[in-house]
Each structure stands twice: as C-alpha cells, then as structure tokens.
Structure 1
Amino acid sequence: MRKIGIIVGLLFLVLLPLMAAERDTLECPVRQDSSLIKTLFNSSMFKGNTQDSLIRARHERTFFHRLGKTFTTFFREFSNIDERYIEPQHFNYTVMLQNTNTYEEYTLYGKEGQRISFAPDPSWRLGPYLGWRWVFLGYTLDLKHINTKDNHSSKKEFNLSLYSSLLGVDLFWRQTGNDYHIQRMNLGDHINTDALRKVSFDGFKSSIKGLNLYYIFNHRKFSYPAAYSQSTRQKKSAGSWMVGLGYTQHQLEVDWDKLSAIVDERLNQKTKQQLEAKIDSSLMFSKVKYSDYSATVGYGYNWVFAKNWLFNASLSVGLAYNHSKSGDPEKDKFDLKNFNFKNFNFDGVGRFGVVWNNDRWYAGASTVIHSYNYHKDHFSTNSSFGSLNIYVGVNFGKKREYKNVK
C-alpha cells in the first residue's frame, strides 16, 4: 500500500505541471496582439501546423482532464457511503485494550495415506492500542511466556489489516518458534499412535508471508470497517460480493531423523504394535519452498440483529497456482514451459465478528482464518492459521462537523 501511495503521488506531481503547461499553451496564442505573429499564423506556411497543434493540444488537455477526474472519483469512493445504512465515524481518536489469541496447524499427507499434523502452543497476548482517524497502532505482550525462560526468540509474527469501504488489505508474516508439538499422527489403520499426541517436537520449522487485496462491490451499503475496525457503524443489514488477489510465500522444513527417533521411542519400544511403525519415505522431503498466486471470490454479510449490535460473516475461496522454489534463482524463474494444471489448488479465508458500538464506546470479538493447500504426486500439505481478537475501547475528540450532534 505504501508503494502504491508513492506511485500515485508521483503520478499527480507529474500530471499537474503537464496540465498547467497545456493550459498555458492554449491560452498563449489568444493573448498575442502582434501583427507580425498574426500574419505568420494566417500564412499558408503555418496555418496547417497551427491547427494541428491546437487540435492535438486540445485532445491532450481533454485526456489529462479525464484522467485526473478518474483518479479523483476513485479516491472519493473510499468515503462514499449511503448514510441510511452506514453511520460515519464521529470522533478523531480512540483508545482500545485488546486480547489477541493466535493458532496455527500444518498437516502433511503421504502417498500411502499417512498423515502427520504439527501445531505450536497457542499464544495469548494483551496490549493497548491508540488510533487517530484511520491510523491505528498498538503493542501486545505475550502473557503466556512473560515469566518463563523458554527460548521463543525465533518465533516472530506480524499482522496488519486495513479496511476501507471500497478496498481491504491483509499483510502478514509468521515464523515459527521451538514450541511445536505433534498434534495428530496416522501411520496406518492398525497402528495406535495415541502415545504421540501432544509430544513436544522442535524439529519443525515453517514461515509464511503474504498479501491479500480485495475489492468490495456494495461498499456504499456494506461496511467492513464497522465489523473489524469500528471506524463506522452499520445501521441496517447489508451484504456484498467481493473479489481479490493474493500472494504468499511458504517454507516448510522437518527433521525426519528426530521425528523417526520419537516414533521408535514412543511406539516401537514402549508399546506392543502388531506392525512396526514407520514413516512413509515419500513424506521425507528436506525442505519445501513455494509461492502461491490466487484469485478469490467471496461474499460477506453484516447482520444488525439489535440496536448497536452487529454480526459479520464472510468467506472467500481462491483458485491458487503453486510455484515451487529450489533456491536457485535461475530455476525459480516462472516459465510457461513449466506450467502444469496439477499445480492449481484451492485456498480459503474466513472472517467472523460480533460488535457492540454506541458511537462512543465499543466492544467485541473477531476472528480471521487462512487456509492454504499444496499438492504433489508423492505428498501434499495443508496449512491453516488464524487469530481471535477480543477488545474494548472508547472514542473521543469529536470531529468538527459532528460537535453539535448528540
């Protein structure tokens, strides 16, 4: 978004001088009173060229005028709402206390039907936020590990969601720590793997970073900010279709020797299995790196079920193309010769929220869940992560136009 803003700003800086120059060019011949210039302009030598220049200048002026008007109309749409359905924000500032809970899970599927799921301990964060109009900044502290000496320094997370009436943007980056455990493991129909459930495993590493951009069609009546950023209020129920684009980079790495040792210790040595438990060799990849390009379509609905209350549910499904990476820049270049329809998969994003907002005070909860899939002939993966936010806040500092509104 910052790059887009810079590009648009530079474009306006370029267009304004050009528009002014065209205006001066058109006005300049009219202001000339010299008989010599009139004689030259009326001569057959310059008449054709002058007329062509005027027509070309008039055409260029019309083009720049229309282009400028298009940009102006587009940016006005960001705040163009139907106030019968949406109440604008009356305040400049807000203070909020928010609890954030995050969860993620990675599941690996082998060619022979084996399945292994890894998940970290859920995080529990709490912290204050301060907002000014559309700028909202804050910090949350991981209370679960505040007094422990566990090494979670490698676990990093960044999430940013920007919601306007017209467009929405999700930016995220997640890198695992060392607090993963085996959530589930299926090594065969006749092998009991209960002894492996919730066993700590620090041999799993993953990272994901990406961007989701989506356009809301019925943005004059349907407000995403009302459900997820409390910058407006939904007064009447409304829904909207939406389309979007997404890009993510994924990386998975498993220490299979360490995992096999845990299987031997927990199953083959301590339990009496009819068959020796072994991990399918097709699952034993060294590292998986791939990019995910997706086009999404979805629908969201804001249900105003009582005064000052709102419930939102939305779901987007994306058709995604996965492009594997090997670490070699030359091999990783996207080439149409390597295009394969088997690389298409389906991704999904779900959002749910409930809000109470009386214009000054607000409270609520919201969750966002992402799901990604990756399939190859010998194995496949599914990754999902999400966050649950519970918050309470107050708005203050009324805008000038609403100071007389009770």
Structure 2
Amino acid sequence: MLRSKRHTPLSRLGRTVLLAAVLLLHAAALAQRPKLSKLPKLPKLPKVKMPHIGFLQQPDSALRRQYIREFGHWKTGRLVLSTRNLQFELRSRTRRDAFIQFRPSSSTTLGVAGYSRRLGLELGFKLPTSGERQKRFGNSRIVDWSTTFYGDQFGADAFFQRYRGYYVRNGYAVDSLWRRGNPYPRYSNLAAFHLGGNIYHVFNHNRFSYRAAFTQMERQVKSAGSFLLMTSVAIMNFSNEGQAFIPSRRLPGYNNNNLGYARFYNLALAPGYGHTFVRDRLYVSLSLFMGFGLQHQRYRMNDRIENVGQVFRKYNMRLATGYFGEVFYGGAGLLLDNSSSRVQDLVLAVSTPSLRLFAGVRF
C-alpha cells in the first residue's frame, strides 16, 4: 500500500525561509532603482502658434469697441418706406439692340417697425396706385416676402417672390407703333417665381459692421472695410401660359428663339468686399459681390423641352447711407441681387432691386 508523504516541521521551515529570501531580494532590487526625481529632464518643445482662421476667430472686444459701438438704448421704433420687385430682361446674343425689358407695376409699402436690441418686428401696407397709373402699367399680382439677418461674422437673406402680370418697359421692342406716353404693352399672364437665399461671411468683423450700416442698431465709429464671401441658392421659374415671351418670330435679332417656359436651379459662390466711410455721424457703406455658379436649366424653346447645365454669373450689391443719431436717426438702403444666364442664343438677366428709406427714434 502506498503511503502519502507527510510534511515534517523541517520542510515547512524550509519553505518559510525560501519565501523570506525572495522578499528580501525584491526589496533590494527596488532600492537599486533610480528615483523619478533624478531622471534626466526632457528638452522643452518650442511653442507653435496656430494660425487664425477667419471662420473660427472669436470677437476681440477691445478692438471691436474702437470701431463699433452699441447704443445705450434698448428699444427703437421707425417708419419705413420701401419698394421691391422681381424684374427680368431677355437679350439677343447676336444683336446688342435686341432686348426686351419686363417690369411689374411698382409696389411701394409703408410700414412701422419696432426693435429690441437685435430682435425686431415690421408691419407694412401696400400703398394704393392711381387709376391713371394702372392704365399705363397694368396691375401686377404680387406676393413678396423677405427677411434679413445681420450678425457680427455672418449674415443671411431669405426671399419668396411670386409675380403675375408684367409690362414691357421698352415698348418699341415689341410694338413698332408704340410711343412714349402711350400705355405700355402688357403681358397679363406672364408669371415669375423666385425662392432662395444668401449666406455670407464677414472676415474683418471686429472692424466692419453690416448691422450698423443697414439697421443702425449699433454705430460704426471709424471707417473700415472687410473681405466677404457669399454662398447663394435659388430656384427661378418663368412662364406665360403656353405663349412665347417674344411675341413674334419676325422680330429681328432673336434668331427665331421663342422661349415659352424656363426653370433654373442655381448654386453660386461670390467673393466680395465692403467698406463703410464715416465722417462724424454720417456714413456711406458700399459692398459688391461678384462670382459664378452652376445652374440646371429646364426650358421650352420652339416647342421643344431642353434640360442643360450651365455656368452663370452672380452679382450682389449693397449700398447704405444715413445719420447715426443718439435719439433720432435715419437712412436709406439699396440692395441689388442679379444673375445672368445664357439660354441658347438668348440671355436671361434677372434682378431683384430693393430700396428702403427709414427714420426712427431710440427710447
């Protein structure tokens, strides 16, 4: 029979001695390691200054106060007289004297507005037109809505325009018997639709303020300018209920291009520059954007539907002038948003001029 080995007291003593020896060796090894404080110091890396990126820069309050100052009043009210429309022009690419200018009957609005710091509300009413004017220019049916945001670094416009009923400003282009003073030739079923917006960035926003020039919710103290960058998107549609815009194939210079319908989808990028000139409390501010964009066109030419892609030109101009008063103030603002597109042998130039006159009081 096999017997299991029994641990004697001597064997247990040997294991205890062996464990104690291992612990002593480990403690001795730790004592020989260098202390962290005595390790050699690594050389310091040179400081690298990251470049400023215009879109990420934070406002420099001290610098901004040298050029732009907020008014102490929290609230303001104003009267506003404004006019705005959607107009376009068809031109021949082969003859400079062959063009037709389509205009809606004017739409002038008188409104009141109230602002509290950077929030505002404006209500406007269309002014009536005389019967004599309606006989000369017709009566356009208009839905026109727009909104504008002026921030420190960014600004934006959004608009919705639907017009029906146009007259031909240069009436001789479609009627050889037309004379100035006569009623203008009218296209009562000619309709235009425009939906879109612009977003732009102000690079030198610590010195240049759009809000001061166009809303006077703050004051430009010193003359300054800034480079600008605008992105624009829009949908435009023009139709005449199955009839051609050019009324007769016999009109010279149009090469029988009878455009009857057109829809454009636009995406554009336009760099620009703006500058505000200040003298005491008077100011003039001028900005100009110029660029190009991609356009998808769908149109009917001579009873044939076409789908093409084109490069088009984009322009945007903003002009403002006025008086920075502590209590009473006033000014004017003009905005022109234009695009020019080639449709075979024609050029379709679209413009949305907007003019505002205002006078107000701070309280």
**Normalising to structure 2: TM-score of the pair?**
0.72
Q: Name the SS of the counterpart of 2:277 in structure 1.
A: strand
Partner of 1:132: 116
| TM-aligned CA deviation for residue 162 of structure 1 | 0.7
| TM-aligned CA deviation for residue 131 of structure 1 | 1.0
Matches of 1:217 and 1:164 in 2, distance apart? 12
Change (3 A) 1:253 1:283: farther
Matches within 5 A, 1:142-221: 142-145=126-129, 154-178=141-165, 180-184=166-170, 194=179, 198-221=184-207
Partner of 1:242: 228
Paired AA for residue 291 in structure 2: G
| TM-aligned CA deviation for residue 281 of structure 1 | 6.5
Number of residues paired by the alignment?
A: 297
The yes-or-no answer on 1:313 pairing with 2:286 is yes
Matches within 5 A, 1:233-312: 233-254=219-240, 257=243, 277=251, 280=254, 282-305=256-279, 307-312=280-285
Deviates more, 1:108-117 or 1:230-239: 108-117
The answer as to whether partners of 1:166 and 1:216 remain within 8 angstroms in 2 is yes
Q: Name the SS of the counterpart of 1:82 in structure 2.
A: helix
Match of 1:84 among 61, 66, 73: 66
Question: What's the CA shift string for 1:321-380, capped at 9, x where partnerless?
Answer: 1112479xxxxxx9xxx7x5xx11211011111111123221011110111111122322
| TM-aligned CA deviation for residue 177 of structure 1 | 3.1
Indicate the structure with greater strand content: 2
Matches of 2:161 and 2:93 in 1, distance apart? 28
The yes-or-no answer on 1:323 pairing with 2:305 is no
Question: What's the CA shift string for 1:248-284, capped at 9, x where partnerless?
Answer: 11111135758777x79xxxxxxxxxxx657947432
The answer as to whether partners of 1:233 and 1:359 remain within 8 angstroms in 2 is no
Q: Name the SS of the counterpart of 2:204 in structure 1.
A: coil
The answer as to whether partners of 2:86 and 2:161 remain within 8 angstroms in 1 is no
Matches of 1:326 and 1:78 in 2, distance apart? 50
Matches of 1:231 and 1:78 in 2, distance apart? 19
Partner of 1:378: 345
Stretches of structure 1 lacking an aligned partner (at least 5 in a row): 1-72, 265-275, 328-333, 397-406
Question: What's the CA shift string for 1:173-207, capped at 9, x where partnerless?
Answer: 111133x211126769xx67657882232131101
Matches of 1:385 and 1:80 in 2, distance apart? 38
Matches within 5 A, 1:356-395: 356-395=323-362
Matches of 1:346 and 1:258 in 2, distance apart? 25
Paired AA for residue 110 in structure 2: L
Paired AA for residue 323 in structure 1: H
| TM-aligned CA deviation for residue 390 of structure 1 | 0.6
Change (3 A) 1:81 1:138: farther
Q: Name the SS of the counterpart of 2:326 in structure 1.
A: coil
The answer as to whether partners of 1:108 and 1:283 remain within 8 angstroms in 2 is no
Partner of 1:223: 209
Paired AA for residue 320 in structure 1: G
| TM-aligned CA deviation for residue 104 of structure 1 | 3.8
Change (3 A) 1:76 1:136: farther
Partner of 1:123: 107
Change (3 A) 1:171 1:81: farther
The answer as to whether partners of 1:203 and 1:259 remain within 8 angstroms in 2 is no
Partner of 1:12: none
Deviates more, 1:118-127 or 1:233-242: 118-127
Change (3 A) 1:81 1:94: farther
Paired AA for residue 370 in structure 1: D
Matches of 1:205 and 1:131 in 2, distance apart? 35
Matches of 1:214 and 1:104 in 2, distance apart? 22
Indicate the structure with greater helix content: 1
Matches of 1:94 and 1:175 in 2, distance apart? 32
Matches of 1:194 and 1:119 in 2, distance apart? 17
Partner of 2:41: none
Question: What's the CA shift string for 1:67-99, capped at 9, x where partnerless?
Answer: xxxxxx959649886111111232221111100
**Normalising to structure 1: TM-score of the pair?**
0.65
The answer as to whether partners of 1:282 and 1:379 remain within 8 angstroms in 2 is no
Matches of 2:299 and 2:348 in 1, distance apart? 17
Matches within 5 A, 1:15-34: none
Paired AA for residue 113 in structure 2: Y
Matches within 5 A, 1:322-341: 322-325=295-298
The answer as to whether partners of 2:154 and 2:199 remain within 8 angstroms in 1 is yes
| TM-aligned CA deviation for residue 296 of structure 1 | 0.8
Matches within 5 A, 1:27-106: 77=59, 82-106=64-88
Matches of 2:106 and 2:60 in 1, distance apart? 36
The answer as to whether partners of 1:95 and 1:395 remain within 8 angstroms in 2 is yes
Could you tell me the percent identity over the aligned residues?
20
Stretches of structure 2 lacking an aligned partner (at least 5 in a row): 1-54, 301-306
Paired AA for residue 284 in structure 2: F
The answer as to whether partners of 2:196 and 2:233 remain within 8 angstroms in 1 is yes
Determine which structure has more spread, i.e. the larger CA radius of gyration.
2
